[in-house]
Amino acid sequence: MNATKIPPLLSDTLPRLAISESGFVFDPVTGHSFSVNETGMAVIRLLQQGLSLSEATAELHKDYLEKSEVIERDLLEFIGLLREQVDAGI
């Protein structure tokens, strides 16, 4: 695993995203919203803390009994989908 940082567009947007307990995500700047599941909420909250890819993977590994390589792959895929959602709101 590496210390890959989150893409700049997301690192600018992530701190301002509001997440409800039901998984509703709202960007107050663009007005764009979308929904995520419980795992998606956990990932966004970890990323909002400024964790690197490897740090977020390690945190998720504590809660999900899966190989770190699988978690990292899934995390990268989620980040790609999240970026698409963020881009759609711009």
Asked whether residue 3 is domain-assigned, the answer is no
pLDDT at position 58: 93
Asked whether residue 1 is domain-assigned, the answer is no
pLDDT at position 12: 79
pLDDT for 65 beyond 60: yes
Rounded to a whole number, what is the largest CA-CA distance in the chain?
37
Asked whether residue 20 is domain-assigned, the answer is yes
Asked whether residue 50 is domain-assigned, the answer is yes
* Domain limits for position 35: 8-88
Q: How crowded is residue 43: how many other Cβ atoms within 10 Å of its Cβ? A: 21
pLDDT at position 84: 84
CATH number of the domain residue 34 falls in: 1.10.10
Asked whether residue 23 is domain-assigned, the answer is yes
Asked whether residue 60 is domain-assigned, the answer is yes
User: How does pLDDT run across 7-60, given as a tens digit for each residue?
Assistant: 665 777 888 999 999 999 999 988 989 999 999 999 999 989 988 888 999 999
Number of domains into which the chain is organized:
1
Asked whether residue 22 is domain-assigned, the answer is yes
pTM value is: 0.82
Asked whether residue 2 is domain-assigned, the answer is no
Using alpha carbons, select from 30, 58, 37, 33 the residue that is nearest to residue 46: 58
Query: What's the rounded Cα separation, in Å, for the pair 24 and 80?
Result: 18
